[in-house]
Structure 1
Amino acid sequence: MQTVAAAVTMVRDDAFFLSAWLRHYGGLLGRENCYIVNHGRGDVVAELAAGANVIGIPGDPHANFDMKRWRLLNGLVAGLRSYYSHVIVGDVDELVVVDPEAGQDLLDFLAAQPIRRVLTPVGLEVIHRIDIEDTPITDRILGPRRHVRLAPHYSKPCILSLGTKIARGGHFTQASKLFTPDPLYLLHLKFCDFGNYVTVMNQRNAVTEAVGVGVRDASIGRHWFAEARGEDRAVFEGFAELEMQEGFDLGWVRKRMHRTWKARGETGYWQFDRPDHALQYRLPERFTGLI
């Protein structure tokens, strides 16, 4: 049994993304090294995650959902670090990958990494170009989907081999040194399929409606609220307007992350600038089938 890396997430009745998460991390790390918090103790989650470590918790709607969630995830990560060299933590629709050009999969890559640090992959959002991509997603996402947009908001410090606190949302830690290995990416899948997006957003809007408070009064991501949703098809049609970039060299992104690295005020956390880039790339062929 390997002790190089474990993966941790929390999910509530989300079969599409959980299936992808389990296929990815279960295949690379072994299901026995995957830890899933089953928010609401849903049967779908328990069935899909057979062979993994499932922790059932109550699913009552709560205005401080995100705060409670990251308090729990922080504790799990801190405990698992006693047993694994690296712990990967994030939302169920976020997958860390290694560029196949590196000649290593994620487990081999992490096995070669020094410990006592936090690794921050470059964030990329997999987008469904509904104007040109009509192949449905079945067992793999990359192939039917080949386009990504830069997403600095998802360049998250999500691989930990150091004792540190993670901020709510997973966007910051209190580790003062920044490590951004060249082949490492975090793929955010929220927009990878138009049909699934509509289904998931309907479910999230229902959760926030049940909480009964607005965006300003809740510790829940703004994107869960109907008032911040916008018109679904218009969101996806807008992806075609992102400026297409040639090649796939994102070294400039990592350089900018390091150049703007600084303390996040007096919070104890550290950050880099996260500007919006209206840019998209077409993933090289070598990424096909990776997730």
Structure 2
Amino acid sequence: MQSVAAALTMVRDDAFFLKAWLRHYGEVFGRENCYIVNHGRGEAVAELAAGCNIIGIPGDPHPNFDMKRWRMLNNFVQGLRCYYDHIVVGDVDELVVVDPSDGRNLLQYLKDQKPRQVLTPLGLEVIHRIDLEPEAITDHIIGPRRHVRLAPHYSKPCITSHGAKIARGGHFTQYDKLNTPDELYLFHLKFCDFAEYASVMNARNQVTQDVGVGVKEASIGRHWFAEARGEDRAVFEAFSQLQMQEHFDLGWVRKRMYRSWEPRGDTGFYHFKRPEYDAQFVLPERFNGVI
């Protein structure tokens, strides 16, 4: 039994991403150290997550969904810190990966980290190049999908051993030091498969429709609303227009994060600039099978 690290997420019916989350964290941490908030008490979630710690909550639609969600996750994180050295917290389609060149898995890596800090993996969005990657995803995502784009929005302070408060969405913390190690990445999977994207977006659009208020009145991410969706195939075809980079070397991105690190107004939170980058990369073969 280990008490080095636990993983925490909240999910509602997203079987595709939950399977990947369970495979990733369940295998390295042990399912007994995985905590899943089952929003709506879905039977499929309970069955897939057997052996994990499942917390069922009501699934009634609410305009302040995201605010309520992160208030609850914050409190769960602080409770779990009483028993674990490190907590990995985030959405079910966000997975933290240690560069295979490091030689350690995530549990081994966190065991070697000092306590009372916050780690911010570099965000990469796995994109499905539908013009180049016809293979279906089966056991693993990285392999059939090798293309990623820079995603500063997903460079999240998602590994914590500190009591700092986490902001709604998990994008900021009230911790004044930035630590984004070279070997840590956060892979965001929203765009990893065209068919799955359409299915998930249909479900999210239904949630916001059930809430019954517009994007300005709701504490829910704008991307959940149908009016912000756009045409699905056009979204994926546009990935081919991103500038292909020759080398997978992202030290310059981390340097920019450190240079722009500052307080986020008078909120008590800290942040770095998150520009849009017109860049894509092919992951080195060493990443095949990491998720």
Answer whether TM exceeds 0.5 for this pair: yes
Identical residues among aligned pairs (%): 74
Deviations 1:225-257 (A, max 9, x none): 000000000000000000000111110111000
Deviations 1:70-103 (A, max 9, x none): 0000000000001110000000000000000001
Paired position in structure 1 for 2:216: 216
Instruction: Provide the secondary structure at the position in 2 that maps to 1:169.
Output: helix
Structure 1, unaligned stretches of length 5 or more? none
Distance 1:190 1:66 in 2: 17
Name the count of aligned residue pairs: 291
**Under a length normalisation based on structure 2, what TM-score does the superposition of the two structures give?**
1.00
Instruction: Provide the secondary structure at the position in 2 that maps to 1:88.
Output: strand
Paired position in structure 2 for 1:257: 257
Paired position in structure 1 for 2:141: 141
Distance 1:83 1:33 in 2: 11
Paired position in structure 2 for 1:130: 130
Asked if 1:243 corresponds to 2:243, the answer is yes
Structure 2, unaligned stretches of length 5 or more? none
Paired position in structure 2 for 1:77: 77
Paired position in structure 2 for 1:64: 64
Q: 1:116 offset after TM fit, Å?
A: 0.6
Paired position in structure 2 for 1:153: 153
Asked if 1:106 corresponds to 2:106, the answer is yes
**Which ranges of 4 or more aligned residues in structure 1 deviate by more than 6 Å?**
none
Instruction: Provide the secondary structure at the position in 2 that maps to 1:9.
Output: strand
Distance 2:99 2:246 in 1: 17
Equivalent residue letter for 2:33: N
**Under a length normalisation based on structure 1, what TM-score does the superposition of the two structures give?**
1.00
Asked if 1:175 corresponds to 2:165, the answer is no
Distance 1:278 1:110 in 2: 32
Distance 1:176 1:289 in 2: 35
Distance 2:35 2:246 in 1: 38
Paired position in structure 2 for 1:193: 193
Q: 1:22 offset after TM fit, Å?
A: 0.2
Distance 2:249 2:107 in 1: 23
Distance 1:255 1:174 in 2: 21
Deviations 1:136-188 (A, max 9, x none): 00110000000000000000000000001000000000000010111000000
Equivalent residue letter for 1:241: Q
Question: RMSD of the TM alignment (CA)?
Answer: 0.4
